[in-house]
Amino acid sequence: MCDEKEIQAAFDVAVELVKKCNEIVSEGFRTASKRVEVKGKHWDLVTEYDQRVEDVLIAGLRQHFPHHKFCAEEASFASGAALTLGPEPTWIIDPIDGTVNFVRGVPFTCISVALAVNGEIQLAIIANPTANELYTAIRGQGSFLNGSRITTRGTEVLKEALVGHEFSIGSYKPIRAALFERGQRFITECVGLRAFGSAALTLAYIASGQIDVYSIQFLKPWDIAAGALLIQEAGGTVINITGGKYDIMKPDIIAASSEPLAQRVLQIIREVEEDLRQAKPT
């Protein structure tokens, strides 16, 4: 088990390790000749920098907290093991979220680190070294950007909202029709749509008030774990994309700057799902 003292110590160690890894990401970002591999689908890329960052984080954390477990993107992919989350302190790590951006030199990429205890996220760190941004949160203590307190905009109506909507997820055929139809309905009502190519950063942008709402499916726990806590600690809300409490290990979510905004997006998602169901030939 983790008490408050250990959680604070874990946070302090993790922040220093992330800062160290920022140098690795920055080095790779500036390097044109990255070694890039495809993990599965053609859009799912990995570089040597992903592995270097993950290795530094896991080794450093394990040195200080040998009893902690790890759920990390590259290690999980390599082992093929089923993803589980028990009561033990477990680090959930995405060494480079937004790898396609990283490879192409697009400055929307980040390191994402979270610690779960008893299945609940207790601390979160998201760092984008290309923009000198360090987002942090400890449960019950608020969210911060580079040491300054941040809050969501508190937007409650969709017509005043800037919406994160990742059309590229439509590469996955089962979600394509619903994703595109949701986008059409959002844009008729909202201020605008934005796609950043990094789920973790998009969630951080909700926490800091840069955008207002984001719905996403078919990701992994490390894509959303840290960002979800940032939003909650910044006064926002995170729910399952079908309504109700979200599950870290099944990260299909609506994240919003307020509960009313999340419910409006949920209503649209349900309407689209019903319309597509009725449109199917019988």
Count the helix, strand and coil residues of the chain and give each as a percent rounded to the nearest 5.
45, 25, 30
Tell whether residue 73 is among the known ligand binding residues: yes
**What is the C-alpha to C-alpha distance for residues 85 and 190, in angstroms, rounded to an integer?**
36
Q: What is the dihedral of CA 225, 229, 231, 236, to 10 degrees?
A: 120
Tell whether residue 252 is among the known ligand binding residues: no
Tell whether residue 37 is among the known ligand binding residues: no
By C-alpha distance, which of 187, 178, 168 is closest to 280?
178
Helix (H, G, I), strand (E, B) or coil at 150: strand
Query: Which residues in 17-33 are b (16+ Cβ under 10 Å) and which e?
Result: bbeebbebbeebbeeee
Tell whether residue 97 is among the known ligand binding residues: yes
Tell whether residue 3 is among the known ligand binding residues: no
Q: Residues at the annotated binding site for Mg(2+)?
A: 73, 94, 96-97, 223
Q: Residues at the annotated binding site?
A: 73, 94, 96-97, 223
